Structure 1
Amino acid sequence: MKVKNIAIIPARGGSKRLPNKNMLILSDVHLTTHSINFAKANRDIISDIYVSTNDENIKSLALDLGVKVIDRPEELSGDFSTTVSALKHVLETINETVDNVILLQPTNPLRQKELLKEAYAKYVDGNFDSLMTVSSSKRKLGKIVNENFIPFNYKMGQRSQDMEPLYFENGLLYISKADLIFNDVILGSKNCPFIVNHPCALVDIDTNEDLKYAQFVLENYPNE
């Protein structure tokens, strides 16, 4: 039986820090459209594409692009609403048997062309419950305690090339079994960290400066 994978793009309207950020323009394309186009380019993996929104402009945009829209209730659209609540609402609303959910966030609009194909292959081959994209970091991190800097992941004087890398969740892509989401979980106990070190992984738009950086990455680094 064919596996049923759906993409969900949670794109609520309104944002206090960066107003209407999911409708902002990056290289003549709305942020939400970047994620929609990425999903449409992976139709061999994705059966259906859903945009979850409480915003009429985002809804019209999605419908014009030929994808499905789930009207998100206001109680799931506030500043403190969780992503998993939006994903669960989509699954409950469509009431179809779904195997895997691919989460694409509009604020992470730049993804390598083959990212989903490579990530999904690893997800399936490893029989994982979930997958998230991560990037390595060799920044020298520490805490400030009583006005003293206390190194966290290195020793004072240590060369950065000798440090063991840490990894951060970059938000580009998530894959989860639908059963997890029904239990209010996105990442399962058998979770695959899929490493992406392309400059696009540093793009996470929450300010105007982030948007300018995204434009720089788009113009200067091949997204392949």
Structure 2
Amino acid sequence: MIQEKKVLAIIPARGGSKGIPKKNIIKVGGKPLIQYTVEAAKASKYIDEIHISTDDVEIASTVNGLGLHIDRLRPKHLAQDNSKTIDVMIDVLDYYNKQNVRFDIVVLLQPTQPLRKSFHIDEAIEKYLEFNEESVVSVSLVNEHPILMRKINEFGTLLPLLNETSTIRRQDFTPFYIVNGAVYINKVNELTSNTSLNDNLRPYIMDRRYHVDIDTYNDLKMFELLLDEEGEQ
């Protein structure tokens, strides 16, 4: 809790994954992938409740082994390839509402961003309150700057994405950021099925070294390398 506001963290962990089967519980660095996010959420100073939303009994069993009890599985219609995360969040909030349990702030933590730490979560929540409860999304500086990106028109001609000259020093480029998927924060009573989480208003800027998105086996290898680097520091 922070400033008398109750905070719910939702960790979505669907069983189906085309790129990496059982991705959320695959072992990396000796732990199931989801454990990194669970540990970060548990270590947060402000999170009051952690809810794992999963349709998969094996994931539920793994999470129960981490000390979080899952007493319901996600409805199947919300566990499809085209299911929207915002609808999953609303389902979880409805579940608590039916038990007369209310929260003020909801934090979405995707297990595919395992390098996010508890201090990232807490700093993002503090930013949310600093800016009068405007929605927050974590971002990182882009590696490939859009000023150097081009599209090809119907005539086969290169066109710039940005209406800016690229004949400037790289250090003078305007900073651009990418939504990294690590932390989303919203006011509970403002969430609707039309809410676009990636369009949350306030940026919480994370150092690029914490940005990894696990979608392929190559991403897993990169994550293992980053874990090794962390262990050597």
TM-score by length of 2: 0.87
Deviations 1:85-135 (A, max 9, x none): 111111111222110111110111111342122111111121133110011
1:127 match: 132
Shift of the alpha carbon at 1:155? 2.9
Match of 1:23 among 22, 25, 39: 25
Deviates more, 1:61-70 or 1:25-34: 61-70
Alpha-carbon contact 1:180-1:188 (below 8 Å) kept: no
SS in 1 for 2:52: strand
SS in 2 for 1:19: coil
Deviations 1:10-54 (A, max 9, x none): 001011122211112221111111111111111x30111110000
2:91 match: 89
1:62 match: 63
Distance 1:97 1:107 in 2: 27
Distance 1:149 1:157 in 2: 16
The reply on whether 1:204 has 2:206 as its aligned counterpart is no
The reply on whether 1:106 has 2:124 as its aligned counterpart is no
Deviates more, 1:20-29 or 1:6-15: 20-29
Alpha-carbon contact 2:90-2:191 (below 8 Å) kept: yes
Distance 1:93 1:100 in 2: 15
1:178 match: 188
Q: Show the 5 A alignment for 1:37-52.
A: 37-42=39-44, 44-52=45-53
SS in 1 for 2:9: strand
AA matched with 2:32 = H
1:194 match: 204
1:144 match: 152
1:13 match: 15
Identity rate of aligned residues, in percent? Answer: 36
Distance 1:57 1:5 in 2: 27
Aligned length: 222
- For the aligned residue pairs, the C-alpha RMSD in angstroms reads 2.3
Deviations 1:118-162 (A, max 9, x none): 111111121133110011225222212233322223534433222
AA matched with 2:213 = D
TM-score by length of 1: 0.90
Point out where structure 1 has 5 or more consecutive residues left out of the alignment: none
Alpha-carbon contact 1:8-1:104 (below 8 Å) kept: yes
Match of 2:170 among 126, 149, 160: 160
Distance 1:106 1:190 in 2: 19
1:76 match: 78
Q: Which has more strand, going by share of residues? A: 1
Point out where structure 2 has 5 or more consecutive residues left out of the alignment: none
Distance 2:232 2:9 in 1: 20
AA matched with 2:67 = G
AA matched with 1:131 = V
